[in-house]
């Protein structure tokens, strides 16, 4: 497994919110080419409160143990668009199998997926479902 993101203090989420509301379009072509930045909240790609800040959400993928390379999931991590939805059908067979493998392993161990992001999982039974932590990790 390769973890992209796990616990994130609320202050970090606040920075995402600030970024989503500014006019900087630097990474648009890579991460959200077909989504208007101002719609990232409305379309569910960014939230002002995150499971990451509750310590119950993780963003991850599977790597090939032999090569150390990520399995092909059809999009890059943090790609905002239909192509990242777990139900997106217009990907090849290997990409579908890789996504299914990730989904089945995470569900087996008590995580539920976010429909819009193949990499995003939250504990089904969260220990702190209504608490958003803001402590630093150093």
Q: What is the H or E stretch that residue 121 is in?
A: strand 117-123
Residue 50 lies inside a defined structural domain of this protein: yes
Structural domain boundaries enclosing 92: 2-123
pLDDT at 94: 98
Residue 137 lies inside a defined structural domain of this protein: no
Residue 132 lies inside a defined structural domain of this protein: no
Domain count across the chain: 1
> Within a 13 Å sphere around the CA of 33, how many CA atoms are in the beta-carbon half?
6
Residue 137 banded pLDDT, cuts 50, 70, 90: confident
CATH number assigned to the domain comprising residue 52: 3.30.1380.10
Which residues are the active-site residues? 117
Could you read off the pLDDT of 6-20 as tens digits, one per residue? Answer: 999 999 999 988 998
Could you read off the pLDDT of 47-63 as tens digits, one per residue? Answer: 899 999 999 999 999 99
Could you read off the pLDDT of 90-106 as tens digits, one per residue? Answer: 999 999 999 999 999 99
Q: What is the H or E stretch that residue 35 is in?
A: none
């Amino acid at each position: 497994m390769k973890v992209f993101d796990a616990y994130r203090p609320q202050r970090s989420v606040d920075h995402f919110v600030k970024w989503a509301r500014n006019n900087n379009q630097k990474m648009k072509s890579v991460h959200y080419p077909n989504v208007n930045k101002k719609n990232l909240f409305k379309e569910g790609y960014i939230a002002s409160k995150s499971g990451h800040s509750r310590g119950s959400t993780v963003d991850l993928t599977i790597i090939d143990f032999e090569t150390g390379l990520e399995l092909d999931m059809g999009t890059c991590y943090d790609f905002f668009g239909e192509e990242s939805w777990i139900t997106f059908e217009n990907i090849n067979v290997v990409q579908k199998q890789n996504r299914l493998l990730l989904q089945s392993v995470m569900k087996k161990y008590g995580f539920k997926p976010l429909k819009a992001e193949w990499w995003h999982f939250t504990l089904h039974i969260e220990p702190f479902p209504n608490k958003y932590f803001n402590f630093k990790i150093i």
